[in-house]
Structure 1
Amino acid sequence: MASIYRKKGNDIWYYCITYGGKKYQGTTKTTDKQSAKLIAEAKQTDIAREKNDLPVLKKTVVNFTTAWDRYIKADSSSSSNIKNKKYLSIHFLSVFKNKDIKDITVSDIENYRLQRKVETENLPKNTDKKESQISFRTVNREISILHHFFEYCIKNGMVDKNPAAGHKKLREGKRDIYLSKEEQERLIAVASPHVKLFIGFSTLTGFRKSDVLGLKWDDVNLEDKVIRVWINKTREWKIYPLSTAATNVLKNIKKDCEYVFSYKGKRLNDIKRSFKTSVRRAGLSGKEGLTPHACRHIFVTRLTEAGVESKFIRDAAGHMSEKMSERYKHLSPNALRAKLDEAFSGDKKV
């Protein structure tokens, strides 16, 4: 006899089958009741065939590559994040591409992680380094993506468990991402116009790259010196007060597109390549890890150097929500703006 049930706080249906005096339980991997009934009946048939020495009907195989393609198509994150996932998937796709995702175990993921660790250690740039001097950031990122991928597979009923969960992170070396005021001005001086504006605004606000590039003019209020930003990382809208310097940067931008940061009248989707060119022109290539995200770190460092209290830095770097009166009663937008003006008052205009 096959029956189905749901556990408290879970939308997934489970089956309970009694056959030959023995009870069998498991998940149907679906939230649809009708489908769950059919799966339970099919499972009961499999048990009966097995107990009577008859071959069990062939089960559905979900190829890793097929599941990965579905995962990428369903990804609602930014285009740059999806592009990065595709780039980092090159290594693990070559290993798992022909496997049924249900057959991939914790040991398989761990062996892959160790294999990638050895490959990283053998890179030309790391040959003369001790293990403690090598950063395995890329390997950690690959495992993180696999973890997220298998969570998607669980949610969509393709697997029961996440074999990429619970793996210890490898060591990530510290990046030299700080720029002095002189180095920052040098970088801005040689940057192309759109990169110059990006650097100026990012180092004055601490926004992440995706948040800056996604900013629209409709979300900017120059008169009140505030902007509304869609935070990709937390998937929510937040209100942020602008310093006088950051407001002046926006005033210098030509409104030829609905997006604030544009290039030749079109949205600027990424800035990584042109930023790298600017770094090379400024003679700063020796600073490992100097990417657009470094502007956020520069922002926090500058506030720290200016003696701004940690609570102000935390709120500034984390952004202020529209529920500011409830969550940030200790800090008003005007108070934060004053701190920002104080920290960046000596900066040259962009």
Structure 2
Amino acid sequence: MYYKNGQYWYVARNKWIPLGKDENEARKTWARLEAGEIPILESSVLIMQRLMDRYIRDVLPGKAIKTQQEQMRQLKTLAAVFGKMVPDEIQPSHIGEYLDRRGREAPVAANREISLLSHVFTKAMRWGFAKSNPCRGVEKNPHKVRDRYITDAEFAAVLRVAPFSVQIAMELAYYTGQRLSDVLNMRWSDVQDGCIMVEQHKTKTRIAIEMGPELLDVIQRARKDGKLRSLYIVSNLHGKPYTKDGFETMFARARAKAGIHDFHFHDIRGKVATDMDNLNAHVHQIQSLLGHKTQKQTEDYIKSKTIRRVRSAAKVLDIVLDKPKNESAKTS
């Protein structure tokens, strides 16, 4: 192993194989090369597949299980296109071409895959395997943001016909603003000092949500249900937590029974943000509750679901047309 031009190298058959700038990581790769775990011929040229393999080994385990599963599928799709390419040979035009071709069938999926590839390049730059990130600055595919707002009447209609555990979950989601995975993971031990302690599964953000009268009432009703034998606030008849798929099946049945079909459980989170905004809550308060990393993320989240209520221009036309007041009242 040699140190040259700011990074470590392994030399085999007169070919210099880059091992990165970090000495400890370079030694690990060197050991794997010596042990035959990485074929010399495949390593003589650093290709994207090797970077993705290291990303899977070193970065992916720190993410949520669902995210790991999703990104493993995304990396497999990316490897089919970029796997044999050398990192520094990939240009922004290649990224744009990928977005165009993949975007014809799945524009949102293409955007997410390139976002992941961008993070792989960010790590590669840190490891000394890439000089730049070709994904930066490349315009993503346009896509329509879901702007569905669940009205109070729709929420109440589903709530009335839902099983008790679904009712409790819906109310917990509304009063805490948390995702379904976090609602289903709420434990009785998280209720302490007048708060519900939440560590968001997706972002690892920790929040202490104060229990006002409404949220306290939900907790008390859940206790009276006789499921104290369970560790979880929302649990099945056996005291076990629901799986996400199992719970969503129950929610879908309740939604269908209420005759409201375009209602995802995640829409409750958007309703929370919008309702708080309509009550003039400060954006920082909404951001803190939802666990967003940036204020802009919260503002965009609210904006996509907010429908502004405005008055019509009838009075303006009355002045222009010089209508009598009694006639205006009849037509307005």
- Which residue is 1:258 aligned to? 231
SS of 1:260's equivalent? coil
Say which of 192, 198, 206 aligns to 1:237.
206
TM-score (norm 2): 0.63
User: Is the contact made by 1:62 and 1:102 (CA closer than 8 Å) also made in structure 2?
Assistant: no
Structure 1 unmatched ranges of 5 or more: 6-12, 16-26, 40-56, 121-135, 320-350
Once the two structures are overlaid, the 10-residue window that deviates more, 295-304 or 186-195, is: 186-195
User: Is the contact made by 1:188 and 1:196 (CA closer than 8 Å) also made in structure 2?
Assistant: yes
- Which residue is 1:130 aligned to? none
Q: For the residues of structure 2 that align with 1:66 and 1:33, how far apart are their CA atoms?
A: 17
Structure 2 residue 82 is matched with structure 1 residue 147:
no
- Which residue is 1:60 aligned to? 44
SS of 1:112's equivalent? helix
SS of 2:62's equivalent? coil
SS of 1:75's equivalent? helix
Letter in 1 for 2:188: W
1:284 Cα offset (Å): 2.8
Letter in 1 for 2:113: E
The structure carrying a bigger helix percent of its residues is 2
Residue-by-residue CA offset, 1:267-304 (whole Å, 9 max, x unaligned): 3342574244544443333x3xx433211111122223
What do you get for the CA RMSD once the two structures are aligned?
A: 3.9
User: Is the contact made by 1:215 and 1:230 (CA closer than 8 Å) also made in structure 2?
Assistant: no
- Which residue is 2:264 aligned to? 291
User: Is the contact made by 1:229 and 1:239 (CA closer than 8 Å) also made in structure 2?
Assistant: yes
- Which residue is 1:30 aligned to? 21
Pairing of 1:249-328 with structure 2 (within 5 A): 249-253=218-222, 254-263=227-236, 264-271=238-245, 273-274=248-249, 275-285=251-261, 287=262, 290-310=263-283, 312-318=285-291
User: Is the contact made by 1:206 and 1:316 (CA closer than 8 Å) also made in structure 2?
Assistant: yes
**% same residue:** 25
Structure 2 unmatched ranges of 5 or more: 9-17, 31-40, 293-332
- Which residue is 1:217 aligned to? 188
Say which of 146, 150, 154 aligns to 1:179.
150
1:184 Cα offset (Å): 0.5
User: Is the contact made by 1:29 and 1:157 (CA closer than 8 Å) also made in structure 2?
Assistant: yes
Q: For the residues of structure 1 that align with 2:196 and 2:174, how far apart are their CA atoms?
A: 16
Structure 2 residue 40 is matched with structure 1 residue 71:
no
Q: For the residues of structure 1 that align with 2:75 and 2:177, how far apart are their CA atoms?
A: 29
TM-score (norm 1): 0.61
User: Is the contact made by 2:173 and 2:269 (CA closer than 8 Å) also made in structure 1?
Assistant: yes
User: Is the contact made by 1:29 and 1:160 (CA closer than 8 Å) also made in structure 2?
Assistant: no
Q: For the residues of structure 2 that align with 1:99 and 1:297, how far apart are their CA atoms?
A: 41
Q: 1:296 to 1:161 in 2, by over 3 A?
A: same
Letter in 1 for 2:21: T
Q: 1:261 to 1:67 in 2, by over 3 A?
A: farther
Structure 2 residue 66 is matched with structure 1 residue 80:
yes
1:308 Cα offset (Å): 4.1
- Which residue is 2:311 aligned to? none
Structure 2 residue 176 is matched with structure 1 residue 205:
yes
Letter in 1 for 2:183: V
- Which residue is 1:107 aligned to? 93
SS of 1:174's equivalent? coil
